[in-house]
Structure 1
Amino acid sequence: MAEKKDKKQLKQQKQSAKKVDKKATKATGKKATKKAAKKPSSKEVISQLKKQVADLKKKNGSLDDQYLRAEAEMQNVQKHDAMDAQQIRKYSGQKLAKSILPGLDNMERALAVKTPDKGGKQLKQGVKMVYDRLTQALSENGIKEVKVAGKPFNPEYAQAVQTVPATKKHPAAQVVKVLQKGYRLHDRTLRPAMVVVAK
């Protein structure tokens, strides 16, 4: 009787195993096997590892290249920013200087007026002191008069507002007279000189 019972249990276990096998086949699409999957040989493992190393070296080289390009780009941006900042500092007084120049012109006109009396001469002397100090301050900040009188006409520094016939003393295309002074801030023209040119 015990033998029948053991056979019955064995039969039930086989049926249960078949059901599990069918379920596994449905789930994975493969038949479940009792044998373990075959392990790859050492040559295959070495080959796979060599391939992985080659792929990683290639990826590393690409990343190194990207890094170097980004580093070079960053250095270029920093250089450009430094140059921009230098230009801003160099020409920061341009607007102020342009607004001061008409006052300087008025002082020059006042100094050109002849004054016969003592009070006028003292006033003129005071204007001259202010004028000298102002031109010195402008010069210290890179603002200088453009000297064009008697030189060949250059449209970068001068603007011709009148022409006169050329002579031996003033050949063609030479600045004969300056009507209004021109000024530069370092290497940049703030205001061109208004001139009379020989033609």
Structure 2
Amino acid sequence: MDLNNKETFEEKELKAEDIQAQAEEQVDEKNETQESSQETTPLTKEEELGKKLEEALALAEEQKDKYLRLAAEFDNFRKRTIKEKADLILNGAEKSISSMFPIIDDFERAVKTIETATDIEAVKEGVTLIYNKFIGILGQNGVKAIETHEKELNTDYHEAIAVIPSPSEELKGKILDCVQTGYTLNEKVIRHAKVVVGE
């Protein structure tokens, strides 16, 4: 056997590998060409409309989900607000009432003292102290008495229940007497002062 004319087994194997590699390269190139042609191929109108419809449906589903979550959150907020308002109406005066307990205690002690008291001046002084303490607590809660003494009549704060002749020219149109004290709560009138005005 002539070795020069005959290809060795190893050479044949190498050639086969080269042929296989070339074939694989051609297949890859063909696939790439097909993919690029698919990418550049324009969609038909039906396909385009179908794609837009899918996008619109997905967006609608997302918006619906957001809406449902928002509606649930708002409903929870509304229920919580109603409950807080109800609690405020029922227990809003708790702080003010609690601050008056010391006054009630003082009155109870005063009533017991009056039963056995012989000194009227001491009783009078005790009641005056309780009154002043009560006015102080009202002031801490934003309640203030409306000033009336020789003030000009102001219908926002005063209610004239009588008009009498003025003792002097300076007191004409001014308040001469207060029949019932008026009060404001945080600058809002909660009871007008009933007054007598000079003319």
Scaled by the length of structure 1, the TM-score of the pair is 0.48
Scaled by the length of structure 2, the TM-score of the pair is 0.48
